[in-house]
Amino acid sequence: MKELEIVIGLEVHVQLGTESKIFCSCSTKFQSLPNTNICPVCCGYPGVLPVFNKRALELAVRACLAMQCKINKKIYFERKNYFYPDLPKNYQISQYKKPLGEEGFLELPTGKKIKIERIHLEEDAGKLIHKESHSLADFNRSGIALLEIVSCPDIGSPQEAFDYLGYLKLFLQYIGVSNCDMEKGSLRCDANISLKKKEAKELGVKTELKNMNSFRGVKDALEYEVKRQESRIQKGEEIFQETRLWDVDKQKTVAMRTKEEARDYRYFPEPDLLDFFVSDEFINEEKKFIKESPCQKRKRFLAEYGLSEKETEILIANLKMADFFEQAVKFYPKPREISNWLIGPFLELLNSFSDKTPPSKVSGGSTCARLCPQGYEGIPMDKFKAVKITPANFSKIVILFSQKKINNLAAKKVLSLSIATNRDIDEIIEKEELLQVSSKEELISFVEEVIRDNPKPVKEYLNGKLPAIMFLIGQVMKKTKGTANPQVVKEMIEKSFKSRQ
């Protein structure tokens, strides 16, 4: 690989956050019954006329502005002609010669700017459900508003492609363009990859990769393709321009078809839609939604709050989470403590409960590794709909824990009882009897009872097996229903043992 250079370009399709489709009034609601959100327009019946969705244009312009694109004031749509069973019109209304936005960029945390070649609007196709002996067509997605974001071949590694996708997703979520939920098909990515000799000016023969349904899948597919192309080059074998599918089960790419060129689609202007003009007033209105970018927020969190890179990546992976953190810090200006409780118990609860599972009934394990393996797979935006606790009440729990008025177990219980209800914190503590007991006078009887009733671990500890004390502490915690101060209990047990030696 020392003499070869990786060249990657990504084509990302993003479903815009509109309530209706791009050229008709059909609903975009996810998981509707098959073929219920359809009409003669999105099914391509003869004689129907499309009507352009203004909201789709607003969101598209906003995305172009966020990525510093030059916006074409005059735009028009074209027909991209091809046959596929889930494309009832046998053409797709898209933009080719005159995209909405051009010549933008997306900055990564490394400081590298990935150039954006074009951003254009188009309609989605339907969906095929393949069975053993037949296939079913669902046209609910047909006509949904898509934004295609095409990068220049500036990406130099699979990891950089992963980072680009992560920050592109955050960009779009921050400005309210899309939920970017890959599980719902709101964000899909195709990748073009080639290898060339480092001194060569011309790019190598590219391969297009499809069927990647996660950021990790994109990275894995690109890593496999790098090895495949490198092997062919070393053997002197030819690399063909083709489309290959990523087989998740076999962890390899497989040939699908030779790659089409633009001329194969026979583009021509859409005769049923007039040209559209984007005014300066329209653009200025959308500029109001462009605020702090994820990259800027990352830099500020690192500098202002003294957080680690891992903590920062998790917090900024969801705008609502980042805002919640900053508001909580205003009530308790100790960012590391607020961050620890947000990334730990808070996310554990949030990730575990659903509409059918009350948060007070859940428990969890390691949260960070599950939620944010690489920093970008944050909690989905809609998860926060269930969060009712205010930053003020959340910070109050952290304050009470830091003051040792409630212990770790009690603090987690209070959080679980208030996260989806915003119940009064003091009321919960009083009703559940969760105030931490630190008084030695109140604990002495429990400590003496545990030492008396557990001679085996006591003997083990006195014989040098120091971890045995944890069992004894646990027994005291059990007898006090988790309200004892474990540090005070430990000190009392150790003092009792010393008096025996």
User: DSSP class of residue 361?
Assistant: G
| Same domain flag for 217 and 281 | yes
CATH number at residue 483: 1.10.10.410
Domain containing residue 469: 440-500
Task: Give pLDDT, residue 354.
Answer: 53
Domain count, the chain: 3
Same domain, 407 and 455: no
Tell me what pLDDT residue 465 has: 82
Give the pLDDT score at 469. 84
422 Rama sector, left if φ>0, alpha if ψ -120 to 50, beta otherwise: left
pLDDT at 202: 83
Averaged pLDDT, 394-413:
90
pLDDT at residue 3 is higher than 70 = yes
Domain finish residue from 408, 432, 456 = 432
> How do residues 56-90 score in pLDDT, each as one tens digit?
999 999 999 999 999 999 999 999 998 888 898 99
Q: Last residue of a domain, which of 257, 287, 317?
A: 287
Residue 173 clears pLDDT 50, i.e. is over it: yes
Distances (CA, A) of 347 to 77, 94, 116, 355, 367: 44, 40, 34, 16, 7
Same domain for 51 and 177: yes
Residues 188 and 318 in one domain: no
pLDDT tens, residue by residue, 360-386? 443 333 333 333 333 444 566 667 778
Contact status, residue 48 vs residue 86, Cβ threshold 8 Å: no
Helix (H) and strand (E) counts for the chain?
A: 17, 16
Q: Are residues 172 and 258 in the same domain?
A: yes
Q: Are residues 204 and 340 in the same domain?
A: no
Say which range, 99-113, 154-168, 173-187, 308-322, has the weakest mean pLDDT: 173-187
pLDDT of 404 > 50? The answer is: yes
**CA-CA-CA-CA torsion for 156, 160, 162, 163, nearest 10 degrees?**
-150
Summarised one tens digit per residue, pLDDT across range 181-202 is 877 788 899 999 999 888 877 8
Q: Residue 160 carries which side chain, given as an amino acid letter?
A: E
Q: Which residues contact 421 (CB under 8 A, 6 or more apart)?
A: 388, 389
One domain for residues 18 and 120: yes
In the structure, what pLDDT confidence band is assigned to residue 352 with cuts at 50, 70 and 90?
A: confident
| Residue 386 to residue 399: CA distance in whole angstroms | 23
Position 455 pLDDT exceeds 60:
yes
How is residue 261 annotated by DSSP?
Answer: P
Lowest mean pLDDT, pick from 88-92, 158-162, 365-369, 391-395: 365-369
CB-based burial, 419-447: b 16+ in 10 Å, e otherwise? bbeebebeebbeebebebbbeeeebeebb
Least confident of 126-140, 225-239, 323-337, 340-354: 340-354
pLDDT in the model for residue 480: 79
Same domain, 82 and 129: yes
- What residue ranges in 369-474 does DSSP mark as E strands? none
Asked whether residue 180 falls in the same domain as residue 120, the answer is yes
278 and 133 together in one domain: yes
Whether the pLDDT of residue 449 is over 90: the answer is no
Among residues 378, 404, 432, the one where a domain terminates is 432
Assess whether pLDDT exceeds 60 at residue 389: yes
Residue 30 has pLDDT above 60, yes or no: yes
Residues 44 and 191 in one domain: yes
The answer to whether residue 499 scores a pLDDT higher than 70 is: no
Q: What is the mean pLDDT of residues 320-337?
A: 95
Say if residue 268 is in the same domain as residue 338.
no
Q: For residue 162, what are its two tokens?
A: 């992963």
Task: For residue 213, name the pLDDT band (cuts at 50, 70, 90).
Answer: confident
* Cα 349 to Cα 361: distance, rounded to the nearest angstrom: 9
Mean pLDDT rounded to a whole number for the chain: 86
DSSP 8-state class, residue 39: -
Q: Among 32-36, 180-184, 400-404, which is the least confidently predicted range?
A: 180-184
pLDDT of residue 186: 86
Entry pTM: 0.80
- Tens of pLDDT along 238-291? 888 889 999 888 999 988 876 666 567 889 999 999 999 999 999 999 999 998
For residue 356, the model assigns a pLDDT of: 45
Picking from 40-49, 154-163, 235-244, 349-358, which range would have the lowest pLDDT averaged per residue? Answer: 349-358
Which has the higher per-residue pLDDT, 403 or 360?
403
